[in-house]
Structure 1
Amino acid sequence: MRPEQMLPAEKRALENLLQIAQGDTGQSRRVADFLLAWWNAGQCGSYDLTTGWAVDEAIAEDMCVVFRLATRANSYPDTLGYGPQFEAVVREWRPELVKE
């Protein structure tokens, strides 16, 4: 999938989640875990669906939209132009994976 093929709702949901993941709250950690499972589940960890029990309904809805996007895109988020944003989430929440 090319970035321009993203639906407006998908783009909005993904960008909302990326912004939340840059925070330092419990919900930020849960969102980061969700996003990083798409980025690289092998290195960043998988996502336990029960984690969604602790996020606000609006965040959960954005997560559902992004899950559908990941399935529809059949590719990783960097192919959609979000590599730098996901790398920032890795630096924030998985600093041990950052290679200097």
Structure 2
Amino acid sequence: MPTDHPRLIDAELLAQLREAMKPMSPEEVARGKAALQRLFEFAQGFSGQPQKVACFLLSLYDSSRFTFDMTDLRALDKPVIQDCIAVLYMNSVRHNNVEKDIDGGEEALELLAARWNLGVQCEL
């Protein structure tokens, strides 16, 4: 006879949930912040890759204004992709917007958008 009781969560799934919910270590935060700084500096460059990185960072800053097509990551060099993943991980775990971890905050990101002439949408 069926019951209305929820199924029990197995131990492996529970361990994965606990791991996913645990706060970042100070070392992970430091790596994420260092990756963010490298990406922000890289986004000041003069080619397609820096513009894509600018769009990535701006989408983390204000996704309603700046969209980023994740397939654009394919056009980036491996170390840049790794930094993007580190920043995305830090952003998702800490629920902290990138402007809080960039020198100059919102103003610096708005200047980045202006530099690339990325007004309403971050379309390449």
1:29 maps to which residue?
A: 51
Which string of whole-angstrom CA distances, capped at 9 and with x for unpartnered residues, describes residues 39-78 of structure 1? 111112x211110110000000000000001102212122
Structure 2 regions of 5+ residues with no counterpart? Answer: 1-25
Over 3 Å counting, the alpha-carbon distance change for 1:94 and 1:69 in structure 2 is: farther
1:71 maps to which residue?
A: 92
Question: Following superposition, which runs of at least 4 residues in structure 1 exceed 6 angstroms of deviation?
Answer: none
RMSD after superposition: 1.9
- Report the Cα offset of residue 96 of structure 1: 3.8
Larger Rg: 2
Contact 1:17 1:63 in 2 (8 A): yes
Structure 1 regions of 5+ residues with no counterpart? Answer: none
TM-score normalised to structure 2 length: 0.65
Moved more, 80-89 or 12-21: 80-89
Pick the structure with more helix per residue: 1
Number of positions where the alignment pairs a residue of Structure 1 with one of Structure 2:
92
After superposition, residues 86-97 of structure 1 pair within 5 angstroms as 86-94=109-117, 96=119
Instruction: Quote the sequence identity (%).
Output: 25
